[in-house]
């Protein structure tokens, strides 16, 4: 049986966008190092690039230690969590700052079954590397209720075409940490983001403490498989760390 593979990950390299305002975060740099010294034949060389930067770039998942010191490292998450049947649901109708509701999840097409891998397509991956401000600050995202619903459904793994697993306004006390975005929200809606989103990263914490890998910055060829039920694989390399970039693949049997 012929299989077709779809790449649901975004490329990582120099100029890969990342979260704003992180003072210690350094730009990713993929330094090319050529070696011309191998004395076998003239002109023979090797390229050995060096990656310099944080692992939580591009399409990646957050491991439990990303949030809780002393919790299991990423290599201790069972492989079963990263492979299985799943659905790629269409949330492309959502707009700036929409919050994924229980209703959105219940009416999702195809239906989300218990134990599924759930990948959510908000369409926001089209802003990746095109408009980093919109990409990281305006995406429709998850908040407490949706997270709890997915938890009840015992999802195996989840991911979305967004900058983070939680809604952009639900990461920290916004007025203190990111005044500009707090202002923007106030101006447009008249509301105080810190009152509307009092929980900080509820879904991050929920998923990570329940051993559910949550993938961020999903994208790539996702539009081609949106609305499908298929096999999804995202095996992370075996490092004892807090999560890292991973190839997310949809496998469709023809």
Partner 1 sequence: MTTKLHDLSQLFTSGAAMWPRFAKDIQYGDSTFIGIHSTAWGDFNHPGWYDMGQGFPFNQGYCPMGAFKWWGHLHAGTHIDAPLYAIPGGTSADKLPLENFHGKGVIVDMRHKEKWDTITAEDFEKATPKIEEGDFVVVNTGWHHWFKPLGHGDKAYEYFHYYPGLVPSAAEWLIEKKVKAIAGTWPVCDHSLCFAIPKWMPWLVNDYKKETGKENPKEDIEGLGDWEECLIMLLKAGIACVQNAGGDIDDVTGKRMDFAAWPVNMEHADASMVRLVGIEE
For 207, how many CA atoms within 13 A lie in the half-sphere containing its CB?
Answer: 31
Tokens 């109708």: give the residue: 93
The least CB distance from residue 48 to partner 1, in Å, is 5
The least CB distance from residue 93 to partner 1, in Å, is 27
Minimum CB distance to partner 1 smaller for 19 or for 211:
19
Q: What is the Rg, in whole angstroms, of the alpha carbon atoms belonging to the chain?
A: 19
Minimum CB distance to partner 1 smaller for 21 or for 106:
21
The least CB distance from residue 123 to partner 1, in Å, is 20
242 exposure class (CB count in 10 Å sphere: 0-12, 13-18, 19+): buried
Minimum CB distance to partner 1 smaller for 65 or for 122:
65
Both tokens of 74, joined, read: 């990423």
Distance CA 64, CA 209 (A): 6
State the angle between helix axes of 144-152 and 202-209 in degrees (0 to 180), rounded to the nearest 10.
20
The least CB distance from residue 9 to partner 1, in Å, is 4
Minimum CB distance to partner 1 smaller for 109 or for 210:
210
The least CB distance from residue 240 to partner 1, in Å, is 4
Beta carbons of 134 and 108 less than 8 angstroms apart: no
Both tokens of 200, joined, read: 């900080």
Minimum CB distance to partner 1 smaller for 98 or for 113:
113
């Amino acid at each position: 049986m012929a299989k077709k593979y779809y790449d649901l990950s975004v490329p990582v390299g120099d100029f890969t966008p990342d979260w704003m305002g992180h003072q210690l975060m350094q730009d990713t740099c993929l330094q090319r190092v050529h070696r011309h010294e191998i004395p076998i034949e003239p002109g023979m060389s090797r390229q050995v690039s060096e990656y310099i930067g944080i692992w939580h770039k591009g399409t990646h998942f957050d491991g439990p230690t990303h949030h809780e010191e002393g919790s299991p490292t990423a290599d201790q998450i069972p492989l079963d969590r990263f492979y299985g049947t799943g659905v790629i649901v269409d949330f492309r109708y959502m707009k700036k700052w929409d919050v994924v509701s229980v209703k959105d999840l219940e009416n999702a097409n195809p239906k989300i079954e218990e134990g599924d891998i759930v990948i959510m397509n908000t369409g926001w991956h089209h802003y990746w590397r095109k408009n980093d401000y919109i990409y990281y600050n305006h995406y429709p995202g998850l908040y407490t209720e949706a997270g709890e619903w997915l938890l009840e459904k015992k999802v195996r793994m989840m991911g979305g075409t967004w900058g983070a697993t939680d809604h952009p306004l639900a990461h920290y006390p916004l007025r203190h940490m990111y005044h500009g975005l707090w202002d923007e929200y106030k101006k447009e809606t008249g509301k105080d983001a810190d009152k509307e989103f009092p929980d900080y990263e509820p879904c991050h914490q929920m998923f990570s403490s329940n051993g559910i890998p949550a993938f961020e910055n999903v994208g790539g060829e996702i539009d081609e498989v949106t609305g499908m039920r298929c096999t999804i694989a995202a095996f992370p390399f075996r490092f004892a760390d807090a999560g890292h970039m991973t190839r997310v693949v949809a496998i469709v049997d023809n």
